[in-house]
Structures are given as structure tokens and as C-alpha cells.
Amino acid sequence: MLTGKHILIGIGGGIAVYRVAELVRLLIRQGAEVRCVMTRSACEFVTPLTFEALTGEEVHTELFDLAGERTMGHIQLARWADAVVIAPATANLITKLAYGIADDLLTTIMQVNDNPVLIVPAMNHSMWNSSATQENVEKLKFRGICFSGPEHGELACGEEGPGRLSEPETIIERLLPLISEQNLAGQRWVINAGPTWESWDSVRLLTSRATGTLGSCLAAIASAHGADVTFVAGPGTPETPDSIHRINVESAGEMLTGCREAAKGADLFIASAAVSDFRFSKLITEKLKRGDIEQLQIELTANPDIVATIASPGERPRHVIAFAAESSNHVEHARKKLDRKGVDAIFANDTGNMGSASASGWWITPDQIEQIDPLPKEKIAEKIIEKIMELQQ
Ligand SMILES: Cc1cc2nc3c(=O)[nH]c(=O)nc-3n(C[C@H](O)[C@H](O)[C@H](O)COP(=O)(O)O)c2cc1C
């Protein structure tokens, strides 16, 4: 979602400057074009060279720069950006932005900028909690400016409280909705993901190699596009942005209950979880020991079919999208599943994708089969969301 986006990072003079280097790397890794503006104070902590080396671009520090301002550099930088991230946002910068003070390059750019802004404060907790800072934060929020953090924890000064710079991943999660078209606003989506655990005895399980990575990417992207997302997650599924209502479950039974409850009145259900088709007929409450039994016969019972239940008349959200993990004849099996379960589309893929960072597959609807070549799972998730948006038109 960041591919080709122009992100301007405004770097203030706080001890957390060094952590912004990681944010810059992550943005670039996710396809963004990044340029940096540092305040004079920021340059006291880390030299511009670090950010020049990371971005491959000149780092701007001075307003009265003869070469830069020959072309009105401060205006050009503001026009170039799709969004501005101020990190670390010092108490000083927050105050200047609240009052529209433009006495250096960064604050002057901010007076020109009319693109989305994300402020990422980092400071001592007393500085953050001071009535001056709090009043200025309220002023900026009132103008619709978004904040990420500060997070609570141990601070550079050794004290503890709110003041830590948000993690780079969190900053990007907050940034995505600001630069994404809100074309799913007003829709309620339910997505399940991950493996399920079926207990056999007090320690052993029946599960799969699924990780829930693709499902959590789908949830994050849908949420960034404005959907109200409920995410029903099996064990070990990656973390999801705070904007997502997450329900953690273990067994297929719990996943069914969670999905059924959430899907009532929803616009769309995506069944990406690798739900165990079977559970143990009898649960052994203690740990079975070697030597307790010579030969063991295990009896399994079929689990309820979550997709078929939710796609059935009376329960059905407007659209239902299923996943099919197959080890052979992928398209043929998936087409049968599409008809049998009465879903709108299936993403068929190979069981070998489980546990891997990339995937490939086929997007199958009643009148379309499209092959999707191997891509990182975030990119596959973007493609699937695009396909769903087409389906909804
Ligand atoms: C060692 C040191 C660490 C500092 N850390 C912070 C900080 O984390 N957050 C903050 O708001 N100010 C911090 N300051 C104060 C700012 O550097 C100071 O307010 C400066 O004027 C900010 O300039 P700027 O907002 O233009 O970058 C620190 C100062 C020093 C000397």
C-alpha cells in the first residue's frame, strides 16, 4: 500500500531520532519514496548523513538555503509529499505547529503542506503531561491531525511513563489509513485467520502449519481502506492494528461461534483460516504417558463447516469469500468448493504456501479464473482486496 507513495519525514530534536532510521528503512522496504527534513536540534543528535545514506536523497535542514530556495524548496517539498510524518515530534515542534509558527524549514513546510500529517511524539513523561503540551496536542487533534503514541514505558531518561516513540510498525499502521482511499468506509467485514487447535490430552494438539499471515494482512488492508473489521484469529496469528476488533480463539468450535456472532449483519466474510476439519471424539484430561497404552486407536469427529454455515441463507453476509488450500488439482477442487458452499469467490492456493512468507494461487469466481503469480503475502492480500472491491461493484 506504500508502493510509490511520497513520505516526508520531519525529524525533531529528541533523543529518539536514532529510532527514526528504522522507520525510514521500513517505509523504503515497503515501497515508499522517503525524503527527510531535520531541525537544527535533530542534527545535534544524529547527523543528516545517516538519513541521506538510508534514503539516497539529500536531507534538508535549512530554510535559508540559497541552492534549495532558488526553486522555493520548502514549497516543493510540501507539494512532493503524499503525507508528512513528524518523528520524533518534540514538545517544541508540537507547540509551534499548534500556533502556526514557521521559523525554520520544517515548520515552514508544515504551513504550506495540505496533505495528511501524522505526529509521533517522544519526550519525557512530565513534558508530555504538561498542560502546555496537552493543550497544544488538543488543538492539533481538533484540527483533525492524527497522532501515533506516545507509548507508555521506560524512557531514555530512565523514568517511566508515556513518552516513548511508537514502534516503526505501529507508525506505518497509523499512516496507512491516511494515505489510502477510504473506499470501504461504512462496510463491516469479518475475517478469520490462522490455524485452530483441537486438544487431544492436556498438552497435545491437532493443528496445521498455517500462520494467519495472509489473513492478518487482509485485515490490516481492509481496515486501512476504512472497513470496520472484526478479526477472528487462531493461535499464533500475527498482531493486527488497534483499529481492528480482534477475537482470539483456539478451537474450530470457538472459531465458528466467534465468526457467526460477528458475521450477523456484516457486509462481507472472508474465511482465510485453516480450520481443522476434525477434532478428537474424546478429550483426555490428563497427559497420556509413554507406556500407559501399547497401541492407540484415535477416533476423530468432523468439525462444523464454518464457511458453509455462514454462507447459508438467513446468516449470509452480502458477500462470502473462501480460501481453499489444496495439494493437487487446485482449480478443480476449488471450483467444486465454490459451488458446494455457495460463496462468491475462492482464493485457491497450494498447501505449500502455509508457513511461507510468499504465496501464489488462483482467484476463482463462478465466471472467472485468474492465476496470481508468487508474491509476498502482503502483496497477495492487496490483490485479493482489489478483486473483492471489483466484485462489490
Ligand atoms: C539530550 C537532550 C535530549 C532531548 N530529548 C528531547 C525529547 O526526547 N523530546 C523533546 O520534546 N525534547 C527533547 N529535548 C529538547 C529539545 O531538543 C529542544 O526543545 C529543542 O529546542 C527542540 O527543537 P526542535 O523542536 O526544533 O527539534 C532534548 C534536549 C536534549 C539536550
Between the CA of 3 and the centroid of ligand 1 the distance, in Å, is 32
Average pLDDT for 196-205 = 93
Give pLDDT, residue 279.
96
Share of the chain above pLDDT 70, in %: 98
- Catalytic residue chosen out of the listed positions 146, 157, 217, 259: 157
Q: Is 136 in the pocket of ligand 1 (CB under 6 A)?
A: no
- Characterize the bridge pairing of strands 160-164 and 358-365: unpaired
For ligand 1, mutation pick of 9, 11, 15, 124 (most atoms within 8 Å of CB): 15
Whether residue 203 contacts residue 289, with contact meaning beta carbons closer than 8 Å, is answered with no
Which residues, other chains included, contact 192 with Cβ-Cβ below 8 Å and sequence gap of 6+? Answer: 215, 231, 232, 233, 234, 255, 258, 259, 270, 271, 272, 273, 275, 306
Give pLDDT, residue 4.
87
Share of the chain above pLDDT 90, in %: 78
Average pLDDT for 44-71 = 86
**Nearest residue (CA) to ligand 1, atom 9:** 123
Q: Is 87 in the pocket of ligand 1 (CB under 6 A)?
A: no
Was domain 6-179 assigned CATH 3.20.20.450? no
Q: Is 91 in the pocket of ligand 1 (CB under 6 A)?
A: yes
- Characterize the bridge pairing of strands 117-121 and 358-365: unpaired
Taking CA atoms, 68 is separated from 2, 71, 112, 325, 377, in Å, by 27, 6, 16, 55, 40
Q: Is 41 in the pocket of ligand 1 (CB under 6 A)?
A: yes
Residue 136's SS3 state is helix
Whether residue 215 contacts residue 270, with contact meaning beta carbons closer than 8 Å, is answered with yes
Secondary structure of 339-387 as H, E, C letters: HHHCCCEEEEEEHHHCCCCEEEEEEEECCEEEEEEEEEHHHHHHHHHHH
295 pLDDT higher than 90: no
For ligand 1, mutation pick of 40, 41, 119 (most atoms within 8 Å of CB): 41
Residue 220 phi/psi, 5-degree rounding, is -65, -40
- Put residue 338 in one of left, alpha, beta given phi > 0 → left and psi -120 to 50 → alpha: alpha
258 pLDDT higher than 90: yes
Average pLDDT for 360-367 = 93
Whether residue 102 contacts residue 111, with contact meaning beta carbons closer than 8 Å, is answered with yes
Q: Is 92 in the pocket of ligand 1 (CB under 6 A)?
A: yes
Q: What is the greatest pairwise CA distance in the chain?
A: 86
pLDDT band at 66 (very low <50, low <70, confident <90, very high): low
Q: Is 310 in the pocket of ligand 1 (CB under 6 A)?
A: no
Per domain, the residue ranges of the chain are 6-179, 188-392
Q: Give the residues across from 205 on adjacent strands.
A: 199
Give pLDDT, residue 70.
62
Give the three cell numbers for residue 203.
498438552
- Characterize the bridge pairing of strands 368-376 and 83-89: unpaired
Common-topology check for domains 6-179 and 188-392: yes
Per-residue pLDDT reduced to its tens digit, 10-27: 999 999 999 999 999 999
pTM across the whole model: 0.82
**Nearest residue (CA) to ligand 1, atom 13:** 14
39 pLDDT higher than 90: yes
Using the 8-state DSSP alphabet, how is residue 163 labeled? E
227/187 Cα distance (integer angstroms)? 5
Q: Is 148 in the pocket of ligand 1 (CB under 6 A)?
A: no
72-76, 87-91, 201-205, 348-352: segment of lowest average pLDDT: 72-76
293 pLDDT higher than 80: no
Between the CA of 115 and the centroid of ligand 1 the distance, in Å, is 26
CA 181 to chain centre: 15
Nearest to 221 by CA among 83, 388, 377, 382: 382
16/14 Cα distance (integer angstroms)? 5
CA atoms within 13 A on the CB side of 118: 25
Q: Which amino acid is at 250?
A: E
Give the three cell numbers for residue 46.
544524529
pLDDT band at 159 (very low <50, low <70, confident <90, very high): confident
Using the 8-state DSSP alphabet, how is residue 64 labeled? S
Residue 65 phi/psi, 5-degree rounding, is -110, 115
pLDDT band at 187 (very low <50, low <70, confident <90, very high): very high
Question: What's the CATH superfamily of 188-392?
Answer: CoaB-like (3.40.50.10300)
299 pLDDT higher than 80: yes
